[in-house]
Amino acid sequence: MPSPLHCKPLRVGLLGFGVVGSGTCAVLSGNRATITARAGCAIDLTHVATRTPERARAAGAAGVVLTDDPLALARHPDIDVVVEAMGGTDLARRCVLAAIAAGKHVVTANKALLAQHGEEVFAAAQAQGVSVAFEGAVAVSIPIVKALREGLVANEIEWLAGIVNGTSNYVLTQMRDEGRSYAQALGEAQALGYAEADPSLDVDGGDAAHKLALLAAMAFGGAPRLADVHVEGIRHLQACDFGHAARLGHTVKLLAVARREGEQIQLRVHPALVPSAALLARVDGSMNGILVKGNAAGVTMYCGAGAGSRETASAVVADLVDIARALRGGGSPRQIPALGFHHEVQPVRTAAPLEALRLPQYLRVPLADAGAARQVREVLAAHGITPVQQDESPQALALLTSETEEWRAAGAVQDLARQPCVAAPPTRLRVEALA
Amino acid sequence: MPSPLHCKPLRVGLLGFGVVGSGTCAVLSGNRATITARAGCAIDLTHVATRTPERARAAGAAGVVLTDDPLALARHPDIDVVVEAMGGTDLARRCVLAAIAAGKHVVTANKALLAQHGEEVFAAAQAQGVSVAFEGAVAVSIPIVKALREGLVANEIEWLAGIVNGTSNYVLTQMRDEGRSYAQALGEAQALGYAEADPSLDVDGGDAAHKLALLAAMAFGGAPRLADVHVEGIRHLQACDFGHAARLGHTVKLLAVARREGEQIQLRVHPALVPSAALLARVDGSMNGILVKGNAAGVTMYCGAGAGSRETASAVVADLVDIARALRGGGSPRQIPALGFHHEVQPVRTAAPLEALRLPQYLRVPLADAGAARQVREVLAAHGITPVQQDESPQALALLTSETEEWRAAGAVQDLARQPCVAAPPTRLRVEALA
């Protein structure tokens, strides 16, 4: 192998100098010697497109060409790879497609872009014979894309389940461990910079749905199918749900689940009870954790930071090194397909209707008076639901059911909400055994 | 990209048809359609060398050429890749070197071979321009080699710590959860097939040391340095140590630790107390779990099965797919160096002497009589050791110390063993905060 001194550097153009862009710049320069030794050639940040050039200069991006025109940079002849770190889905999409059209490889951590426009972007890249890498788009620094696309490539994936949104996990952890209300916990997360001023994308499950669409495409084939993901957020959870859950041997997490059911695939993001003894129950604060069940590997688990500038940059730079190594080896970075499949194994699987779901349920029913609990059990019995475990307080009856159909559980909750013995609308959460 | 129909299959020769070999055969045939779709070409098991051909035939290896001469198979002209699944370090070494000399790529799950002869094997492969892949040699189905060599490639690795031996972890878990003695727990592990008739390699830490030598080489550069690993096993642990540890907020695990200390590297395998709240404390039974701390990614964690035929095959086949994809892409599987570095960043780091270690300690001192605990504390004080936490029973005084030098802790234990107030030699374990 030639010494790296005789090897052409990989020339990187960076679009955006916010959290991800500045982290990428810092990691490339701070760890330069090690990255060069591992890649086999230098990875040079040569161009940056940003609206805040002074910020980029201050951050040590001196020596690179600065511009405020991302589209021009995306097509720049002196660049081998474009790193899209702008965020958003409109200008980012046009820049990524322009870079691909100009024959550039693309690295992005933009989950919204790929979940919504992945089919178009990946098709364009395939037609041009360039690579679109996105390790940073799914689980920050956890190399889960590499695990699914390469490490677990020998497996039929049966299911995957993960905590893939750090903000909502921080909120849920504060509610459980500090007894905070949802509003208090969210306020703290915003004060700490873990949550945006508008937290909707995080707490309503949208961000987790973007990531799940990408994970499922790598696990089962097909394009990312955001529209097929059933999404529920965490706004309706109350601190008391964590107490009930704990006494019932569980904790509440916002889960992203993709599960193969015959020729269909379940795609869902919702808060769920998981057994307290499960490793995933201990993935707390702003951490992310993902379980993958393969028919050869069994269950493997991946955990790491759920947010962060350098943490995301770790994944972005890993994608750059993959590209540098492939080019240096005389091959094509396209040797590994963006989503892991060179061709579909079979007609793309359809989404399983939520109605087909059959899981144990957690119900918390606010009680109007002393005798109410008995009446609640009678209503449930009338719907064919028998509690397998209960935790009663003067205010509420919380219980776990055996496996129950969605329609049956939803119907019982509607019926209960109408009963005089029930003081307020019940809360229903699904229970995931993670097995 | 050409359709897989027009793409040459990768021809695989398998040496050995035991646990790993039969699993590889089963996964390649059982998941063939998916593996082909992901690799971009078929991966065909064409030759098997085994002393039990009837077993191979029965296991569905019919249609492949069977031989009892592994050396001949290693050089066979009709094979692209040799999978070494024989185990052992003598014949396996000769077969692997023969395959390399014949220009074959090699995949192996043989940690002993690579830990002891890695420098020779990797050098031969580099000289021949072939690849030696070994995902299955470190953590069974967990893609930790890929994570260190590729996923975390942007990081300066600060430390890694893991449970990398499933047999000893099963024994420790039974001792903790079922109150078994070491001998009872080991007997059960043997009855279940988790432990060999001669369990030395597992319970004395040798197997974990093999894996640590490989992990450290990928994390810090240089060749695997088995001789530099300090190794202690678990035979001396008693069931009561788990009770004391639990009451002191910890659990006992056999850890493999590699930590960078300036220009030196600590390499050690020994039982240690880890905080009960740490995720690694929940990696139980025969599971493996590894933490890696990088200066960009922060701490990421990887867990999965610590043993198994199909589980190991998942990693072996992933290595085969890496090779198939690289060849199909027109490049060389050597584009990713076996240990992740194209060249050393700096002179290979030296091993840190154990004496330089400074960690909190757990001490269990068997007491001769009622007044003994006070005397024990006096002896410790004379050595400059003050307990920060204690758990006293009529039989023993268990305690945690603040950070203490090895020589100081060892000296105090020697001194205590000589005291009339001490009924039996004390037990000393290091405490790892995993931070």
Are A431 and A250 within 8 A, CB to CB? yes
Assess contact for A328 and B331: CB atoms under 8 A: no
DSSP character at residue B430: E
Catalytic residues of B: 211
Q: Please name which of B139, B141, B130 lies closest in space to residue B107, comparing C-alpha atoms.
A: B130
Residue B304 with chain A: CB contacts under 8 Å: 297-301
Nearest to B146 among A126, A146, A343 (CB): A146
- A95-103: average pLDDT: 98
Cα A209 from Cα A202, distance rounded (Å): 10
Instruction: Determine whether A430 is exposed, middle or buried from the number of CB atoms within 10 Å of its CB (0-12, 13-18, 19+).
Output: buried
């090895």: which residue's tokens? B406
pLDDT (mean) for A9-15: 97
- The reported pLDDT for the residue numbered B347 is 64
pLDDT at A263: 87
Range(s) within chain A of domains with CATH label 3.30.70.260: 358-431
As a three-state string, the secondary structure of B126-164 is HHHCCCEECCHHHHCCCCHHHHHHHHCCCCCEEEEEEEC
CB atoms within 10 A of CB B4: 18
Considering Cα of A112, then A115, then A121, then A126, what sign does the dihedral take?
positive
Residues from chain A that touch B151, judged by Cβ atoms under 8 A, are 135, 143, 146-147, 315, 318
DSSP labels for B346-393?
SSPPEEPPGGG-EE-EEEEEEBSSTTHHHHHHHHHHHTT--EEEEEE-
Provide the CA A333 distance to its chain's centre, in angstroms. 24
* Opening angle at CA A7, ends B143 and B119, nearest 5: 45
Q: What is the pLDDT of residues A400-415, one digit of tens each?
A: 999 999 999 999 999 9
| A356 has pLDDT over 70 | yes
As given in the structure block, the two tokens for residue B399 are 């305690």
DSSP, collapsed to helix, strand or coil, labels residue B65 as: strand
Q: What is the Cα–Cα distance from A6 to A328, expressed in whole angstroms?
A: 11
List the single residue in B with minimal CA-CA distance to A38.
B341
> Is the separation of the CB atoms in B154 and A321 below 8 Å?
yes
pLDDT band of residue A58 (cuts 50, 70, 90) is confident
pLDDT value of residue A4:
45
CB within 8 Å: A1 and B345: no
Q: Do A329 and B326 touch (CB under 8 A)?
A: yes
Angle, to 10 degrees, between the axis of helix A111-128 and the axis of helix A91-101?
20
Q: CB contact, 8 Å: B37 with chain A?
A: yes
What are φ and ψ of residue B404, in 5° steps? -135, 140
The verdict on A25 touching B (C-beta cutoff 8 Å) is no
From the list B4, B279, B321, the residue facing A154 with the nearest CB is B321
**In this structure, which amino acid lies at residue B368?**
A
The ipTM is 0.96
Q: Is A309 on the interface with B (CB under 8 A)?
A: no
Cβ neighbours of residue B61 under 8 Å, at least 6 residues apart?
B17, B25, B45, B48
Decide if B57 touches A, using CB distance below 8 A. Answer: no
Q: What is the pLDDT of residue A385?
A: 96
The residue behind tokens 């139980």 is B284
Take residue B285 and report the two structure tokens written for it: 């039974």
Give the rounded distance of the alpha carbon of B271 from its chain centre: 14
| B398 alpha carbon, distance to own chain's centre | 30
Do A255 and A271 contact (CB within 8 A), yes or no?
Answer: yes
* Alpha helices for A309-425 (secondary structure H): 309-328, 372-382, 406-417
Structure tokens at B82: 């040799």
Residue range B358-431 in CATH 3.40.50.2300: no
| A435 at B interface, C-beta within 8 A | no
- Look up residue B389 and give its two tokens: 């936490």
**Are B56 and B25 contacting, i.e. CB atoms less than 8 angstroms apart?**
yes
Residue B65 bridge partners (DSSP): B47
Beta A427-431 vs B65-67: how paired, if at all? unpaired
Answer whether A80's CB lies under 8 Å from A73's CB: no
* pLDDT in the model for residue A1: 42
The 10 Å CB-count burial string (b at 16+, else e) for B252-263 is bbbbbbbbbeee
- Pick from B151, B305, B336: which is nearest to A325 by CB? B336
Distances (CA, A) of A365 to A374, A424, A428: 12, 7, 9
B285 touches chain A (CB under 8 A): no
Test mutation, A157, A286, A323, A342, chain B, max B CBs within 10 A: A342
pLDDT tens digits along B379-419: 999 999 999 999 999 999 999 999 999 999 999 999 999 99
Closest CA to B104 of B223, B8, B7, B13: B13
Residue from the list B28, B296, B301 with its beta carbon closest to the beta carbon of A303:
B301
- Give the dihedral of Cα atoms B238, B240, B242, B247; nearest 10 deg: -160
Give me the residues paired with residue A304 across strands: A288
Torsion angle in degrees (nearest 10) through CA of B99, B100, B102, B103: 120
Pairwise CA distance, residues B257 & A206, whole Å: 39
**β-strand pairing of A81-84 with A10-15:** parallel
H or E stretch at B261 = strand B250-261
Altogether, the residues listed in chain B come to a count of 435
Interface test with A, best of B177, B314, B346 (most A CBs within 10 A): B314
- Element counts in chain B: helices (H) and strands (E): 16, 19
Of B1, B308, B317, the CB nearest to A298: B308
C-alpha to C-alpha distance for A267 and B109, rounded to whole angstroms: 35
Closest residue to A303, CB basis, from B39, B279, B344: B279
Look up residue B134 and give its amino acid.
F
Q: Hey, are the CB atoms on B31 and A295 less than 8 Å from each other? A: yes
In angstroms, the Cα distances linking A36 to A45, A131, B160, B216 are 13, 21, 22, 19
Using the predicted structure, report yes or no on whether residue A347 has a pLDDT greater than 70.
no
Query: Taking a C-beta distance cutoff of 8 angstroms, is the pair B244, B361 a contact?
Result: no
Residue of A nearest to B145 (CA): A151
As a whole number of angstroms, the distance between CA A314 and CA B152 comes to: 7
Class of domain A144-306: alpha beta
Pairing type for strands B43-49 and B65-67 reads: parallel
Can you give the pLDDT at residue B2?
Answer: 43
pLDDT at A331 > cutoff 90: no
| Burial of residue A38 (number of CB atoms within 10 Å: 0-12, 13-18, 19+) | buried
First to last CA, chain A: 46
Helix or strand run (H / E) with residue A219? helix A206-220
Cα nearest neighbour of A299 on chain B: B304
Cβ contacts (< 8 Å) between A154 and chain B: which residues?
27-28, 31, 35, 313-318, 321
* Closest CA of chain A from B2, distance in Å: 9
Cβ within 8 Å, pair B153-A335:
no
More confident residue, A364 or A55: A364
Neighbours of A88 (CB within 10 A): 13
Q: Kindly indicate whether the domain formed by B4-140+309-335 is annotated with CATH number 2.40.30.10.
A: no
Check CB contact of B151 with chain A, cutoff 8 Å: yes
CA B396/CA B369 separation, integer angstroms: 10
- CB of A241 within 8 Å of a chain B CB? The answer is no
Chain A: give the shortest CA distance to residue B216, in Å.
15
What are the two backbone dihedrals, phi and then psi, of residue A135, each rounded to the nearest 5 degrees? Answer: -55, -40
The packing angle between helices B91-101 and B111-128, to 10°, is 20
Mapped onto helix, strand or coil, the DSSP state of residue A43 is strand
- CB-based contact (8 Å) between B326 and chain A? yes
- Cα–Cα dist B294/A304, whole Å: 11
Nearest-CA residue of chain A relative to B333? A329
CB nearest B151 (choices: A3, A28, A318)? A318
Mean pLDDT in order along chain B per 10 residues (435 residues): 64 96 96 96 96 85 89 97 97 98 98 97 97 97 98 98 98 97 96 91 98 97 95 97 98 97 94 97 97 98 96 98 94 91 80 92 96 96 96 96 96 97 97 92
Give the separation between CA B93 and CA B98, rounded to whole angstroms: 8
Measured between beta carbons, the chain B residues lying within 8 angstroms of A27 are 154, 296
- Mean pLDDT of the residues in chain A: 95
Token pair of A243, please? 């107490």
- Residue B160: phi and psi, rounded to 5, are -140, 150
Q: With 0-12 CB in 10 A as exposed, 13-18 as middle and 19+ as buried, what is B393?
A: middle
C-alpha–C-alpha distance, residues B149 and B147, integer Å: 6
Closest residue in chain A to residue B288, using alpha carbons only: A300
Residue spans in chain B of domains classed CATH 3.40.50.720: 4-140+309-335
Residues B405 and B413 sit within 8 Å (Cβ to Cβ): no
Q: Does A305 touch chain B (CB under 8 A)?
A: yes
Rounded CA-CA distance A152/A278 in Å is 22
Handedness of CA A357, A362, A363, A364 (dihedral sign): negative
